[in-house]
Each structure stands twice: as C-alpha cells, then as structure tokens.
Amino acid sequence: MDVELGLVKVVQIATAQDVGQVLNPLSVLGQIEGGIAQGLGLAIMEEIVIDNGIVKNPSFTDYLLPTALDAPDVVAVTIEEPEPQAPLGAKGVGEPPCISVTPAIVAAIRDATKRQLNRVPVRPYDICL
C-alpha cells in the first residue's frame, strides 16, 4: 500500500468455503477465484461516477474492473459437506467470495491506515495521509 498516493495492491486472499460435493475441482477453484476478483473490484476499483446526472465513466476505458494483473494469489481450502437437497450434493460456489472478500479487504486497509472507511470502493483520497 502506498499511503501517500492512496494506492492499494491486494497480494493474497485466503479463504475456506463449504462447497458441497466437489464435482469438478478446477471449476470450483475458478468460481472461487472469480468471486474474489469481483469482491476485489467492489472494494477498491469499481465505481460509477455521476456529476449533475451525467455518468462520467460510461465505458470500460474509464470504469475500472479488475483484470488478471490485479488478481491476488488465492489460497483456497474447500470443505465438502454435501447438500442432501441438491443434485449430486453440489452447492453454489462463486457467490460467497463476492460477499466476504470486500469487507475483508476494507478491514485490512482500515487496519493498515488506521482510517475510518465507511464506503466502497475505497478511493485513493480516502486513505492518503
């Protein structure tokens, strides 16, 4: 983190997730990594900027989304508790990381900067000293 410029680079996310019965391990990991990327985007990148009712970042040139270059290393542990009501015991996998990673990243930024952060995405001027 560069507190003078307000820049954040997430280098690793560790997660443990109950995924039900694993049917395809590579797909499960891909879903977890994709959910983490979405949560990362919400935490520090994605924001629609509106000024007097005009969207100032209407294209992907101006609206920041995480790319493979932004993706942190993911340490994922899968817990297999088959869902008896689901086909083959499978559970949804991609959604939980979207929910949990955003507050985890903001909490880490809060801890590192000792600043109160009450919104996402965390913008550079929210953390500049």
- Summarised one tens digit per residue, pLDDT across range 79-101 is 999 999 998 998 988 888 888 99
Give me the sign of the Cα torsion angle 10, 43, 65, 36. Answer: positive
Task: Burial-class residue 121 by CB neighbours within 10 Å (0-12, 13-18, 19+).
Answer: buried
| Of 2 and 45, more confident | 45
Pick 12-127's CATH classification: 3.30.365.10, 3.20.20.70, 3.40.50.1370, 3.30.420.40.
3.30.365.10
C-alpha to C-alpha distance for 94 and 105, rounded to whole angstroms: 18
Catalytic residue among 4, 80, 81, 95: 95
- The encoded tokens of residue 31 equal 């879903």
Q: Show me where the domains of the chain are located.
A: 12-127
Q: How confident is the model at residue 66 (pLDDT cuts 50, 70, 90)?
A: very high
Q: Is 46 a catalytic residue?
A: no
**Phi and psi at residue 90, in whole multiples of 5°?**
-75, 155
What pLDDT score was predicted for residue 129?
65
